[in-house]
Amino acid sequence: MPGEPAEKKQLVHHVFFWLKNPDSVADRDKLVEGVKTLAKIESIRKLHVGVLASTEKRDVVDTSWAVSELMFFDNLEGQAVYQSHPIHLEFIKNYSHLWSKVVVYDAAEA
Amino acid sequence: MPGEPAEKKQLVHHVFFWLKNPDSVADRDKLVEGVKTLAKIESIRKLHVGVLASTEKRDVVDTSWAVSELMFFDNLEGQAVYQSHPIHLEFIKNYSHLWSKVVVYDAAEA
């Protein structure tokens, strides 16, 4: 079939945010609210907005972040559409004052 | 309904591996093969095995890792089943010589 490869070889975009005020639940919740606005971007196939899970604390587990944004795209073009999308730019404008650090992992299906 | 909340409030478990031999494509592919053996663990709802995507290189994008393992669980119990599962322990025994560093992010749906 022509067109996009549907479920195959999806691209994972996982972003972790550290808050300027790490102890502020209000700031965390506000950022969660902000990340959820991204769901309207049409090239995002799945959006998972996360906060720290209460799994066992082990040395290898990074628990220093506050909010995560996990997205699936069909391909690199889908991710590019997202990066320059007005809703994404609006999100950065309205919520970037809340975070001190961002780390992004972009993974292609192996 | 009793029982597990299906698609709701899933737990995300995302692991990044750095190789002892970062330039070895053979070691990377071997570790990918190892991570794929985990798919048989019954509490894993979705497994995405990743390698570096060829997205735009920006300061915030960490491109130093080699292999990623993204899993969804229904809940903390599902993750606990995974951690102590014989297939997982076998994976660690057979493949841990390949990696130098592991970082884990556990995220609960916000």
Q: How far apart are CA A6 and CA B28, in angstroms?
A: 26
Distance set, CA B90 to CA A76, B18, B45, B49, B97 (Å) = 34, 19, 20, 18, 13
Which among A60, A76, A109 has CB closest to B50?
A109
Which among B36, B55, B110 has CB closest to A106?
B55
Asked if A12 lies within 8 A of B65 by C-beta distance, the reply is no
Which among B12, B55, B106 has CB closest to A61?
B106
Please report which confidence band the pLDDT of residue A1 belongs to, taking 50, 70 and 90 as the band edges: very low
Closest CA to A65 of A104, A101, A38, A14: A101
Give the mean pLDDT of B45-73.
95
User: Is the pLDDT confidence value at A84 over 80?
Assistant: yes
Q: Are B106 and A52 in contact (CB under 8 A)?
A: yes
User: Is the pLDDT confidence value at B6 over 50?
Assistant: no
Q: What is the ipTM of this complex?
A: 0.90
Give the mean pLDDT of A4-13.
72
Q: Are B44 and B15 in contact (CB under 8 A)?
A: no
Give the chain B residue nearest A60 (alpha carbons): B103
B26 touches chain A (CB under 8 A): no
Identify from A55, A68, A81, A101 which residue to disrupt to test chain B contact, counting B C-beta atoms within 10 A and taking the largest count.
Answer: A55
User: Is the pLDDT confidence value at B51 over 90?
Assistant: yes
Note the pTM of the prediction, 2 decimals.
0.92
Per residue in A21-79, pLDDT (tens digit) is 999 999 999 999 999 999 999 999 999 999 999 888 889 999 999 999 999 999 999 99
Q: Are A60 and B101 in contact (CB under 8 A)?
A: no
